[in-house]
Structure 1
Amino acid sequence: MHTLPSIRKIFEGVATRAEMFRMFNRHRGDPAVVENDAEHLFAGERFEIAEREHDYMLEILPPLWMRADMFAMREFMTDNVTSIFFALLVDGRKRFFHAYCNLSDKGSVERMRAAIIARESRPAKAMTRDERLEHIWSSTHDDYRGYAGKGWPASLQGRRTVLVYCGGLGTVLKPLCDLTDDEIAAKLPVQLRHLPALAA
């Protein structure tokens, strides 16, 4: 199984409504989801959305709770994990974010809020290697990504895989975490390929 950091940005840029709904289902097919043990997959994920998507989600159902700059969805994704929508002032500009927080952890929402502001307040646009991999996973069509199954070595089973072009070998499935810098660059949108690397 793949391990994930506690709070992680999974998409660079402002997600459209279609991209937002795709990311809600980005773990479909993961063995942990099948086994109903997916809390660790969702809790801590976050990405930016537009104001209209924020407001759209607020109007779908009455929120579980609402505070000055955030609200929680009434429907839970898994166990104690639900969607939190933020409207945050970042460097003097209001921006909107979606995140999954585990509400059984009393400080998770405030930690997420602080992490978003800290990460998005950095003056230069840059991405960590993990953020690049998460963006690739979030934006790759389901037909071109999946999970290593029984045909893979036992140590790799359950890991996320993506199709990549490997020169003379053609297009092959490769574990997401094993992509080279060149393979990562080739799979990123042009506008993200040359962003400077940021230490995790």
Structure 2
Amino acid sequence: MTSPIRKIYFGVTDRHQMFRLFDRHAQRPNRWQSDDSALYAGEWFEIARAEHDYMLEILPPLWMRGEMFAMREFLTGSITSVFYTLRINEVTRFFHAYCDLSDPRSCHDMRDAIVERERRPVKQMTRAERIEHIWSATHDRYRGYAGVDFSPEHRGKRTVMVYGTSGSSFQLLDHLTETQIAEKLPVHLRHLPLAEAA
């Protein structure tokens, strides 16, 4: 099963944010007991040049090809970090992505998807992108996975803390209302036009 290519954070991450996003699924139930490649494959976000260069210098890369290099250490299965230096709309920018190296097209498809997404003249976010940004930006204390308090068909799904008139509680991430999504997004992202999913 191929995981969709998806932007998981809006903005340029600093080093702390970058390392948090490397394993934003760390709290998942039964970690390491199954192949979680599909959780990571296809995820990407923008980084600063300093972070790109830092990652290049940590270890010799597995390979370097033009505007990209792959990390030698695999996250899970055949999934590893690939870092890109891309010229988009006359600006050089830097990105991290998780690619499945068992697919020889994976890194090129990822590059093309990033360029296509970032070339849009008007900033927009799909509902899925809003949801992914909320998950990425929420502190571990305020996000988790549905447990015994949820019906069996929802257990193991992602949850976030929501606040209401009767207090706070965890709610399924994918079930957030548009109002709750707006409340959880940073101010500069709340009023971006809603894009149709590709």
TM class, shorter-chain normalised?
Answer: over 0.9
Q: Which moved more, 1:28-37 or 1:66-75?
A: 28-37
Q: Letter of the 1:47 partner, please give it.
A: F
CA contact under 8 A between 2:145 and 2:159: conserved in structure 1? yes
Is 1:148 the counterpart of 2:146? The answer is yes
Which of 23, 32, 46 aligns to 2:21? It is: 23
Which of 177, 180, 190 aligns to 1:180? It is: 177
Which of 125, 128, 142 aligns to 2:123? It is: 125
Find the counterpart in structure 2 of residue 199 from structure 1. 196
How far apart are 1:33 and its partner, in Å?
3.0
Cα-to-partner distance string for 1:76-135 (whole Å, 9 max, x where unaligned): 010000000000011111110000000001111110000000000000111111111101
CA contact under 8 A between 1:32 and 1:38: conserved in structure 2? no
Q: Equivalents in 2 of 1:193, 1:9: separation in Å? A: 17
Find the counterpart in structure 1 of residue 156 from structure 2. 158
Once superposed, what is the RMSD of the aligned Cα atoms?
A: 1.4
Residue aligned with 1:111, SS: helix
Q: Percent identity?
A: 57
Q: Equivalents in 1 of 2:3, 2:60: separation in Å? A: 31
Superposition TM-score, scaled by structure 1 size: 0.95
CA contact under 8 A between 2:3 and 2:41: conserved in structure 1? no
CA contact under 8 A between 2:67 and 2:84: conserved in structure 1? yes
Find the counterpart in structure 2 of residue 43 from structure 1. 41
Which of 114, 117, 120 aligns to 1:116? It is: 114
Residue aligned with 2:19, SS: helix
Residue aligned with 2:153, SS: coil
Q: Equivalents in 2 of 1:25, 1:80: separation in Å? A: 16
Superposition TM-score, scaled by structure 2 size: 0.96
How far apart are 1:30 and its partner, in Å?
1.2
**Corresponding pairs, count:** 197
Structure 2 residues not aligned, in runs of 5+: none
Q: Equivalents in 1 of 2:149, 2:178: separation in Å? A: 26
Find the counterpart in structure 2 of residue 171 from structure 1. 168
How far apart are 1:31 and its partner, in Å?
2.5
Cα-to-partner distance string for 1:16-36 (whole Å, 9 max, x where unaligned): 111000001200121363423
